[in-house]
Chains A and B, each alone.
Chain A
């Protein structure tokens, strides 16, 4: 099961956070700080899975942006590792060459995309066109 989904940049600023279990606000900031510290301390040739407390972190770096997913032991690390990439591919398709700024200024849209993919900590949809369909409809409605 996926516990949380984070996007944090190298400076430690959170760009997106989604928790699938209720975590209190002040604990979130603490957790995020520790998580990014853990990720930054690792070099490129080290493995992308970290054991942290009683769960595992799977992270992937895209330019200056880290995507970190917290999972419990029932989840398949590699599958989640690829899920991150799938998510980025979807973002890439929607924003056409996504950048950190896109995510900052379209936080709601990124969230909507993520909600289509992951629900209650389960991976529910990975088909790119299906993930984007509801959002594209919304966009079209907004234009008219």
Chain B
């Protein structure tokens, strides 16, 4: 059997699937003699992966072997546990392994530590309680056990270095002993004492000493000693030296150590041994970020390396050069990079280098010609594999220009000329992205050379491209847009006529669409001029995000008896309390499909912009909808698309008449891309004029889309660019922010009985949103039609007392309210003016939500920043109060958050206060969402303002998981259904203190501290539900049993239960300690 298994391993290694034998591997581990057992375990660890279902069958064997009296068996079991083990079964073996930490044999202790390391990697929370045992392992009398514990420490320190500063001294002592040769002789490798152990320790020290002078102080001596000792010429000492150098440059600097490290690097770089040279270059690249002067010392060597026959050395040198590029050397460095790029074929290298070149070119370009030429090279080499930000950034630069108007003109002129030149070549094949860039630039700026060049020529060249087979349809759309723009600047042209003729009968519906649009535009030149103004790509589009032009339609709908729109959560509550009423679920699904289609059109029409925000605003809804739709199986069929189809047809006509959309409708763009376009339009046929407008809109937006896309995408890394962008972009963002904030506010607003008028406004506004969705595509009309049907069922049920009120005199109400609510230019509500005093206080609206006390984040003589967390129903709002303590007004105060991988700030990372008056307070609010699951992370930001000189204040905000947890209000029944549908679960027993006693008290603490919702309590079992914003539910099942609280969590997200469990434990522990303290207090007097 053992031989068979080895052969099976062999087969897998050669790439032949042998899954039929996996089960036998497990059997062998279970039944065989010692050697067979080992091979069985080995095969299991080679064949299976962490989540393999067969792995569960191994658990029993492992448990048995761990309890065995035979050391060899224990050893094997520990080895396999530290290689592969199912996460959810950790509690089964954890106590056994903990016992092994006290075993008398070093190898068992060592392997136990390694197994715990594995557990720490896959489920850190489960080994939370044995941290002090790790410390014991670190102090173990055996070197091997200590070395094994270093892996755990390296990992923990990587995650949180501040918690382990007290261990620095221990690490330093250990390193000192190792370096000093105090270890047994068999740890030496080529007479160097335990080199890999040294490397591990040096890494840990580097992490600990980073940005911390006091801790760094402790390790200077030992680092010096390591440098000194590692003088034998052997590869392994070089490895140690390299690690030393890195540590020295990572921790708080000490001059004479730096000098020694620099000397060491010099030795590496100059070495004839190629591996050493590589190591030297790598070290230099790292070091140069701290000390650019070092590069000067090795100038000549670097130049030599640049022409080195080994491409790897070259590549590393380029990496180094990239770090030291500046305005003067950029031309040469970029040239070198391009040379390298031309030889390299690997996609990964190309992507990497191309983005570096583009970045350097943007930052340091010395001249226009050079910039354009470099970018041309980038586009033609990088082609379609490069990051989409590169062409977008480039176009944005061209469009927005720099400070100097004349300079801009020249740059554009040069770009146009060079592209015309490139297009002249008959057979040249360019990547799609490059063609798109060319066509946009030509469309937008070809008028610059009109005096000398003929637009006909440009258009002919573009037309030729359209006929080429390698051009994709997306690129064709760009080209058509360019032609339309050029055509708008010139009176009738033969090329255009020919083009229209040719493509009006094209089989490609998109192309045909464009051709028709172009035709209609050509017939009405004035309109065309209006729509396609010259050089207006940077002008802001006014997009009516609130869709106020639909007000009339809504009012009409309401007067005909339609139900006012209700936000999703309200609807869901109603539905829960009245299961048998109308079911809206299927439309949830069709909604999502129409969303995706709007996402597609978003590329081409600016309406897509507003819908974009719409999508994000509604994503939570959709998520929930789809989720809950799973529950309703029987009802669904009744209301499925097919069942309703005939009715929908009849409605459509009606709807369209109703729609008779106010002129200038931005919605048109979406209709255009609808696959039904032609036939549909003829049948339904809104007036000819209407249709034309829609087409116009879409053409117009094609051109602008590129601009919009550009301005929206390249947010990253704009501060250092040499080409300063005009402040326009931030204005655009701000103005876009305004409506979206407003929109968010309305969504999250819950109707309150006392604020009746407000209530109506809200319902109306949300109605808009809903209607906006419903007009997205014809299938959506279905939904709207449902809303007409709803009142009957609603009134029958007599569900909502507020609703009839709203409907009493809808038209009169809306007439008044419209103006107030739907002016997009309305003042941003986030600027809460409470200028009277410097004491931060929340606006009334926010103060109604649960919120934290205002905490001071940072302050200086002139400014103080206070923070208040507001836990609203759908997000975490950070309200920042900036108080001006000085006696003069501060202008241009900028608040910027740093990008964090864990969190997303919805309205962008920065906020701009134009002015803060003397002795007054301004505030801004940002809603934060958790992107990546984490326990607790820090969000860093800074505040910049101009006084006599640019001054910056830094601050950091600690956000924990609990900030993002909200109660989820569901019924016991739903709990049961949801429970079965979630796959990830975690169980844990927690001890309860006697004083806590009953379950309800324990649950109450959880409800208060963690904002969970207690669904039900039955006897000694409790059901609790919560959700992680935006909409990841997590269910908790608690049971008390003999002083233990058994927690059982389930969620669709794998990481959430773990994290939540940890939080629960934390609070539970805290209350226990608290209780104990109380008891103690009572007894002591």
CB of B322 within 8 Å of the partner chain: no
Q: SS class of chain B's interface: helix, strand, loop or mixed?
A: helix
A82 at interface (Cβ–Cβ under 8 A)? yes
Q: Are B277 and A120 in contact (CB under 8 A)?
A: no
Chain A residue at minimum C-beta to C-beta distance from B10: A107
Q: A119-B82, A137-B72, A141-B34 are in contact. Are A76 and B348 (CB under 8 A)?
A: no
A11 contacts partner chain B, Cβ-Cβ < 8 Å: no
CB distance from B291 to the nearest CB of A (A): 21
Residues of B within 8 A of A26 (CB): 15
B349 touches A (CB below 8 Å): yes
**Judging by beta carbons under 8 Å apart, are B348 and A53 in contact?**
yes
Pair A47/B278 contact, Cβ less than 8 Å: yes
Question: Which one, B14, B121, B186, B196, contacts A129 given CB within 8 A?
Answer: B186
Contact B83 A115 (CB under 8 A): yes
Contact B310 A119 (CB under 8 A): no
A83 to B187, CA, bound (A): 14
Closest-CB distance, B145 to chain A (whole angstroms): 11
Q: Fill in one digit per residue for A116-130: 1 if any B CB lies within 8 Å of its CB, else 0.
A: 000110111111111
A77 to B35: give the CA distance in the assembly, Å.
35
Q: Residue of A at shortest CB range from B151?
A: A122
B750 contacts the other chain (Cβ, under 8 Å)? no
Say whether B312 faces chain A, with CB atoms less than 8 Å apart: yes
Any chain B CB within 8 A of the CB of A81? Answer: yes
Q: Is the CB of A50 closer than 8 A to any CB of chain B? A: yes
User: Is B13 touching A16 in the complex (CB atoms < 8 A)?
Assistant: yes
- Report the minimum CB–CB distance from A23 to chain B (whole Å): 9
Q: Give the contact stretch, choosing among B233-241, B887-895, B958-966.
A: B233-241
Give the chain B neighbours of A17 by CB distance below 8 A: 13
Cβ–Cβ contact B199 & A51, under 8 A: no
A28, A51, A111, A130: the one contacting B15 at CB < 8 Å is A28
A129 to B850, CA, bound (A): 63
Give bound CA distance, A133 to B79, whole Å: 14
Choice from A13, A79, A107, A112 contacting B239 with Cβ under 8 Å: A79
Q: Which of B107, B187, B236, B278 contacts A49 (CB 8 A)?
A: B278
| Chain B residues positioned under 8 Å from A122 (CB to CB) | 151
Known: A120-B121, A133-B107, A137-B72. A108 touches B6 (CB 8 A): yes
Within 8 Å by CB of B117, from A22, A120, A127, A138, lies A120
CB pair A108–B274 under 8 Å, yes or no, is no
- Is B174's CB within 8 Å of the partner chain A? no
**A67 CB, min distance to chain B CBs, angstroms:** 15
Among B197, B242, B275, find the residue whose CB has the most chain A CB atoms closer than 10 A. B275
- Contact A79-B196, Cβ < 8 Å, known A47-B313, A124-B151, A129-B186: yes
The answer to whether A111 and B46 touch (CB under 8 A), given A46-B312, A81-B235, is yes
Residues of A within 8 A of B486 (CB): none
- A61: interface (CB < 8 Å): no
A14 and B236 contacting across the interface, CB-CB below 8 Å: no
Q: Among A22, A49, A107, A120, which residue has its beta carbon within 8 angstroms of that of B118?
A: A120
What is the CA–CA distance of A77 and B770 in the complex, to the nearest angstrom?
Answer: 58
B residues contacting the other copy or chain, number (CB 8 A): 60
- Within A61-108, the residues touching B (CB, 8 Å) are 76-79, 81-83, 86, 107-108
**Cα distance A61–B144 when bound, in Å?**
30
* Contacts A14-B14, A46-B310, A46-B312 given; does A78 touch B274 at CB 8 Å: no
Taking the nearest CB of chain A, how far is it from the CB of B36, in angstroms?
A: 9
Determine how close the nearest CB of chain B comes to the CB of A69; give it in whole angstroms.
14
Q: Would you call A123 and B35 a contact (CB within 8 A)?
A: no
Of B15, B49, B187, B310, which is in contact with the most chain A CB atoms at under 10 Å from its CB?
Answer: B15
| Contacts known (A108-B6, A138-B72, A141-B72); A124 close to B114, Cβ less than 8 A | yes
Residue on B with the closest CB to A18? B46
Mask, A25-36, CB within 8 Å of B = 1, is 110110000000
For residue B82, which residue of chain A has the nearest CB?
Answer: A119
State the CA gap A123–B199 with chains docked (Å).
11
Q: Which residues of A contact B187 (CB under 8 A)?
A: 126-127
- Kindly list chain A residues whose C-beta atoms are within 8 Å of the C-beta of B195: 79, 82, 126
Chain A residues near B199: list those with CB within 8 A. 76, 79
* Set of chain A residues within 8 Å of B236, measured between Cβ atoms: 78-79, 82
**Contacting residue for B194 out of A46, A107, A115, A126, CB 8 A:** A126
Assess A115 versus B117: contact at CB under 8 Å? Given A25-B17, A46-B312, A107-B6: no
Inter-chain contacts of B277 with A (CB < 8 A): 47
Q: Which of B1-47 contact A (CB under 8 A)?
A: 2, 6, 9-10, 12-15, 17, 34-35, 38-39, 42, 45-46
Given A14-B14, A115-B83, verify A82-B274 contact (CB < 8 Å): no
Beyond A48-B275, A54-B348, whether A123 also contacts B196 by CB under 8 A is yes
Per-position contact with A for B34-67: 1 when CB-CB < 8 Å, else 0?
1100110010011001100000000000000000
User: Are B242 and A76 within 8 A (Cβ)?
Assistant: yes
Among A22, A29, A49, which residue has its beta carbon within 8 angstroms of that of B275?
A49
> Beyond A79-B199, A107-B9, is A138–B79 a contact (Cβ under 8 Å)?
no
Residue B568 interfacial (CB < 8 Å) = no
Q: Which of B38, B189, B194, B348 contacts A82 (CB 8 A)?
A: B189
The residue on A at minimum CB distance from B34 is: A141
* Contact A49–B151 (Cβ < 8 Å): no
Question: Is the CB–CB distance between B75 and A134 below 8 Å?
Answer: yes
Q: What CA separation (Å) do A126 and B192 show in the bound complex?
A: 12
Question: When the two chains form their complex, are residues A78 and B239 in contact, meaning their CB atoms are under 8 A apart?
Answer: yes
CB-CB contacts below 8 Å: B164-186 with A? 186
Q: What is the CA–CA distance of A138 and B38 in the complex, to the nearest angstrom?
A: 9
Contact present for B144 and A127 (CB under 8 Å): yes
Are A76 and B189 in contact, CB atoms less than 8 angstroms apart? Answer: no
**Cβ contact within 8 Å between A142 and B196:** no
**In the complex, are the beta carbons of B114 and A25 less than 8 A apart?**
no
B279 lies within 8 A of chain A by Cβ: yes
| Other-chain residue from B35, B114, B348 in contact with A138 (beta carbon distance below 8 A) | B35
In the bound complex, do residue A81 and residue B38 qualify as a contact, i.e. CB atoms below 8 Å apart?
Answer: no
- Residue of A whose beta carbon sits closest to that of B309: A46
Judging by beta carbons under 8 Å apart, are A111 and B42 in contact? yes
Residues of A within 8 A of B362 (CB): none
Could you tell me if A22 and B49 are in contact, using CB atoms closer than 8 angstroms?
yes
B148: CB under 8 A from chain A? Answer: yes
7 A-B residue pairings within 8 Å (CB atoms): A47-B274, A76-B239, A77-B278, A78-B279, A82-B195, A115-B79, A130-B186
Further contacts, 15 of them, CB under 8 A, given A77-B278, A127-B194: A13-B14, A45-B274, A47-B310, A49-B312, A51-B315, A78-B236, A79-B195, A82-B235, A82-B236, A107-B9, A111-B9, A119-B83, A120-B83, A126-B195, A126-B196
